[in-house]
Chains A and B, each alone.
Chain A
């Protein structure tokens, strides 16, 4: 008690007036959750939702803006700003928009607001541009009807825009300009923007006029705490309600805690995989590629490096993706079979370089050492190379020289999650702009084509399953694992990690007593 007293005394000592953090406005009646503070690993680059659609940006955007369509906790598509949608031509989707909604500044929400978002998102300075490449045009039909035209028939179009596409208030946007809007955003969402101290926190307060009913919290604070163990400490200490990206190493600290607990997702949205350079002689033999896969003990990696917070893989797609096929199990660990396959293949030079980036692949040093040791056991002669992230990616993108500076086997991640089929497609399609390993297979290309054009769930699912099976049989990848998302959660609230890694305040509730 004494300790607590000392702390509050210190807390009340103001620094200088200009350094005070933004305070959250309090309404007359406190909402059931009070103020929710979320300790995140990264600050945003912009608050303009049309300029960035990465997951950590959407944590904040989801509160200020509303998505056009959304996903529920089971990854099912649900209406939001759009009440219904239909395909009126092979390449045209028609959206009916909700009526009677206002932006937080009083502007009425109309179809042109969504069109503005799309137009801004497609500009060269937008980091959302790649995900909108499928869209050729947005057309306003009437105030509450919008047509979106895609580049040819795209069956997975709806998946790719769910929880990404939203709306910008045209009058205000025109008045302040894109740059200023990125600092002072206005949306239709349940929380209004209050302040942003870069590198420190973004403060939001509840929007009492929200069309979807009273928001559950008085305010939401996104607090940037870059260090993983500091995030864990912040939640354990009661300073934060939720902590993102907790290192598995920190998990035991929560076992004995009365203030906070760990919640982990069931699958991972940032799978780790290995790419075998298909243009090098050693990997042209399928048996060698299979041997590489059989030699690596994924379960041991998951158990040791991730303390069990991971899931071994045996296919391209991660659990939360539509292309995931539950019938395909994880790759078995069978060094004896690997050895005999290598003998059969009769490779003379067994030297390979294992290459990984520091940063995008967590614990790259430890991971490459384990994989190298596994591969050495079956007879490979492995040398390891670790690069800083952007050096590594520069080598991958050196398409002019066929990636000559990339190691024979490189370890990388991809951003998965629902709606990220395009990512896998870019990685494995012959013409994909992320096909760094030069994997060309006519059959695989055909399945992708089929999946893109099949608007019926059945044939599409079938094409994707055939694709998964084909790649599993072809083994161009060293299938590795999905690291689970590990969150620290205060015992003051009830909340469970979602499959899509989103933080939605409406999912939270007061702790069950």
Chain B
């Protein structure tokens, strides 16, 4: 097990290095942050001086080596526009994004387990068909449109929840729904399909013939067996949602990383882009590491493989 974790940690290091390098190179290709800072009355010397502050006057390989050197000590430099440490700014906005993403996924998972199981047990019934058409809707509706409709109906018309903002549980509900609908639909279909597969297995028939209560069969025999595929999908979705939260964060004024990154990109704020890419890569790598370890816990056979 420890050898397995060590191996995974090493490969995680390689992935993170790769991501940071790619972002460094790409950011230099998209344009010059200083061009956006030029104001009336500035001279060429002023502009050169500005460039020197962030080392942008050095050749790119030199910039990269300097960046790596300080990044290894956790210093990603000062934000070009905000004058504060870039990593600090990213870490400050990370909890909000993690909270939103986790709430969306957790809600989606719990609801998907219930709805997916219902659909599988009542296969081909009216309920199953209705649920499946709804999941189709959930997977195809654009999330910005859903977000705007939620604000319009729930907040502006019925005054049930605040339209935007951050701070209390009530502020979390709408953005989590807007973000969680897609994974909810996906997970519901997955739970149903996997359950149908498991339900036709011999051991389920045996369990039934022994007279075990149906809910116990569902929880103990069926859900445990579909857990691996669920963990895989959730680990992947978590990374996707972290990236996809941008639109939701914007509409609901959620102070998360997505917005910070989009602003950084449009301002060409390289230090924030780099620190942000590093943190996202780290979170995604950690998630998949946790998923791998979870496999081993769920299924002992994987442990010894």
Binding site for B on A (CB under 8 A): 3-4, 6-7, 10-15, 18-21, 45-46, 48, 51, 124-125, 127, 129-131, 133-134, 178-179, 182-183, 197-200, 223-227, 229-230, 233-234, 236-237, 239, 359, 388-391, 393-394, 397, 422-423, 425-426, 432-434
Contact = CB atoms under 8 A, between A and B. Distances in A.
A233 B163 contact: yes
Q: Name the residue in B30, B84, B164 with the highest tally of chain A Cβ atoms < 10 Å from its Cβ.
A: B164
A127 B37 CA distance: 7
A227 B164 contact: yes
Nearest to B32: A394
B92 interface: yes
A394 B35 contact: yes
A390 B36 contact: yes
Given A183-B84, A394-B32, A230 B151 contact: yes
Contact of B259 (A11, A46, A226): A226
30 contacts: A6-B160, A10-B168, A10-B169, A11-B168, A13-B169, A14-B169, A15-B169, A124-B49, A127-B81, A133-B42, A133-B46, A178-B83, A199-B254, A200-B253, A200-B255, A226-B253, A229-B151, A234-B163, A237-B155, A237-B163, A390-B30, A390-B31, A390-B267, A390-B268, A394-B31, A397-B38, A432-B40, A433-B40, A433-B41, A434-B40
Contacts of A226: 250, 253, 259
A233 B156 contact: yes
Interface of B: 30-32, 35-43, 46, 49-50, 53, 78, 81-84, 89, 92-93, 95-96, 99, 148, 151-152, 155-156, 158-170, 172-173, 250-256, 259-260, 266-268
Given A227-B250, A237-B163, A11 B83 contact: no
A129 B50 CA distance: 11
B167 A182 contact: no
Nearest to B166: A200
Contacts of B254: 199
Contact of A389 (B46, B49, B173, B266): B266
A198 B35 contact: no
A11 B171 CA distance: 8
Contact of A425 (B37, B40, B43, B99): B40
Given A19-B99, A19-B166, A133-B39, 15 more contacts: A3-B160, A10-B170, A11-B168, A13-B170, A124-B46, A131-B39, A198-B89, A198-B255, A199-B259, A223-B253, A226-B259, A233-B152, A389-B266, A390-B35, A434-B40
A107 B84 CA distance: 26
Contacts of B78: 179
Contact of A390 (B166, B253, B266): B266
B202 to A, nearest CB: 47
Given A229-B148, A394-B31, A394-B32, A51 B83 contact: yes
Contact of B156 (A19, A130, A236): A236
Given A7-B161, A230-B164, A233-B155, A199 B260 contact: yes
A223 B165 contact: yes
Contacts of A19: 95-96, 99, 166-167
A239 to B, nearest CB: 6
B252 to A, nearest CB: 7
Contacts of A224: 253, 255
B266 A130 contact: no
B31 A391 contact: yes
Nearest to A11: B170
A413 to B, nearest CB: 14
Given A127-B37, A131-B39, A45 B81 contact: yes
Contacts of A179: 78, 83-84
A143 B31 CA distance: 47
Contacts of A426: 40-41
A7 B168 CA distance: 11
A394 B253 CA distance: 30
